[in-house]
């Protein structure tokens, strides 16, 4: 049976920590110039309905390090949802490739792709969530602070796809998640309520970034206007004023707090250049960890489906 990675909640707590262990091991091996061709001769179709730097390059490079190849299918190549049915795309690609990675607008399309594909599907972002990002982010927190459990992670800005994945993580691993968002920009209500009902993590949604930032272990932000929301940009620029990571906001957090951003960054909107380049920032560790975390997710999925990859 193939296994997909469409949301953080697809993994148990133990599996999440095993993924981190594998990611750290693979990372140290890459740094020592060692790679293992666990997926020699395998291929991955990467479907992108939206732009990307990190997701595209990290998956393609990771696949090459594993001895396989990844193919880039851009927004105009297969026009998912327009040119042919999602289920047909899933069935055709499954006849050519061993893996599918997709970045799509509609989360329902991701679910449909996974349902009809006979090969593993990995979610590289939808309008609803961004699970690979959160695996890399939590791995980064784990590396820098030695744990994620009990950490106070404060997300400043939009209750968007990245925020929904933080909430999904909170349903599986206990930590303290605070969203500081303006009225009208709360996360997906069902995801929020599920995370609260799971009863593992302390979860807060507040309106005041300064109150939220007090004693934070991590201050995290993402763009105010996500891909696909460009028509709302002007309104969002007004609505999110003050929801910015800068040195003043960082002064309310713990003295050794981490400043994080999934990138791409819009300087002087959600983060200042000073904060992103400052001593708190681990932004480029996060970006790097996308690759190691995703490679570890692939090993986990392959082993669940019967492979015996020992990392």
- CB of 179 or CB of 223, closer to ligand NVA: 223
Map residue 153 onto helix, strand or coil.
strand
CA angle centred on 230, ends 229 and 231, rounded to 5°: 95
Binding partner at 210 among ligand NVA, ligand CP, none, C-beta below 5 to 8 Å by kind: none
Number of H helices, E strands in the chain: 13, 9
Based on CB atoms, which residue is closest to ligand NVA, 112 or 222? 222
Query: For ligand NVA, which residue of 160, 164, 168, 272 counts as binding (CB under 6 A)?
Result: 160
3-state secondary structure of 156: strand
Stated as kind and residue range, the H or E segment containing 101 is strand 99-103
What is the Cα–Cα distance from 187 to 208, expressed in whole angstroms? 16
Q: How far is CA 233 from CA 12, 159, 236, in A?
A: 37, 15, 5
The rounded distance, in Å, linking the Cα atoms of 269 and 276 is 12
Task: Kindly tell me which residue out of 60, 129, 161, 165 binds ligand NVA, with binding defined by CB under 6 A.
Answer: 161
- Closest approach, Cβ 289 to ligand CP, in A, equals 11
Residue 197 and residue 243: Cα distance in Å, rounded?
27
Kindly tell me which residue out of 30, 200, 227, 311 binds ligand NVA, with binding defined by CB under 6 A: 227
249-283 burial code (b ≥16 CB/10 A, e <16): bbebbbeebbbbbbbebeeebbbbeebbeeebbbb
Of residues 94 and 225, the one with the C-beta less far from ligand CP: 225
Stretch that binds ligand NVA, among 31-39, 70-78, 143-151, 218-226 (CB under 6 A): 218-226
Kindly state the number of chain residues that form the binding site for ligand CP, as judged by CB under 6 A: 9
Residues of span 15-54 touching ligand CP by CB under 6 A: 52-54
Q: Which structure tokens are listed for 105?
A: 């607008």
Q: Which stretch binds ligand NVA (CB under 6 A): 19-27, 61-69, 71-79, 160-168?
A: 160-168
Residue with tokens 């669940």: 304
55 binds ligand CP (CB under 6 A): yes
Least distance between ligand CP and beta carbon 264 (Å): 6
Counted residue by residue, the chain has a size of: 311
Q: Is 226 among the residues that bind ligand CP (CB under 6 A)?
A: no
Among this protein's residues, is 163 annotated catalytic? no
Q: Which does 161 bind (CB under 5 to 8 A by kind): ligand CP, ligand NVA, none?
A: ligand NVA
- Name the active-site residue from 262, 287, 300, 302: 262
> Is residue 223 close enough to count as binding ligand NVA by CB under 6 A?
yes
Q: By CB under 6 A, is residue 262 in contact with ligand CP? A: yes
Cβ nearer to ligand CP, comparing 132 with 172: 132
Dist CA 60 CA 238 (whole Å): 37
Annotated active-site positions, please?
262
The binding site for ligand CP (CB under 6 A) comprises 52-55, 125, 133, 262-264
């Amino acid at each position: 049976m193939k296994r997909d990675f469409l949301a953080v909640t697809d993994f148990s707590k133990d599996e999440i920590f095993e993924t981190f262990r594998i990611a750290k091991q693979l990372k140290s091996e890459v740094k020592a110039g060692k790679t293992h061709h666990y997926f020699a001769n395998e291929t991955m179709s990467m479907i992108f309905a939206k732009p990307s730097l990190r997701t595209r390059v990290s998956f393609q490079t990771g696949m090459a390090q594993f001895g396989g190849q990844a193919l880039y299918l851009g927004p105009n190549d297969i026009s998912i949802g327009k040119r042919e049915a999602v289920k047909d795309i899933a069935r055709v690609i499954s006849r050519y490739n061993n893996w599918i990675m997709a970045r799509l607008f509609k989360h329902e399309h991701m679910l449909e792709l996974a349902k009809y594909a006979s090969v593993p599907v990995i979610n590289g972002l939808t309008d609803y969530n961004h699970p690979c990002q959160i695996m890399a982010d939590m791995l980064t927190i784990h590396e820098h602070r030695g744990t994620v459990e009990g950490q106070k992670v404060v997300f400043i800005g939009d209750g968007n796809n990245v925020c929904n994945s933080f909430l999904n993580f909170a349903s599986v691993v206990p930590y303290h998640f605070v969203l500081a968002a303006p009225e009208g920009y709360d996360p997906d209500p069902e995801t929020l309520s599920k995370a609260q009902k799971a009863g593992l993590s302390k979860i807060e949604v507040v309106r005041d970034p300064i109150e939220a930032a007090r004693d934070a272990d991590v201050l995290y932000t993402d763009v105010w206007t996500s891909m696909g929301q460009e028509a709302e940009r002007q309104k969002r620029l007004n609505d999110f004023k003050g929801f910015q990571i800068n040195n003043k906001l960082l002064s309310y957090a713990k003295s050794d707090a981490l400043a994080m951003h999934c990138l791409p960054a819009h300087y002087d909107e959600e983060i200042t250049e000073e904060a992103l380049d400052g001593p708190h920032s681990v932004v480029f560790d996060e970006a790097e960890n996308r690759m190691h975390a995703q490679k570890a997710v692939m090993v986990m999925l392959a082993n669940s489906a019967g492979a015996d990859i020992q990392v």
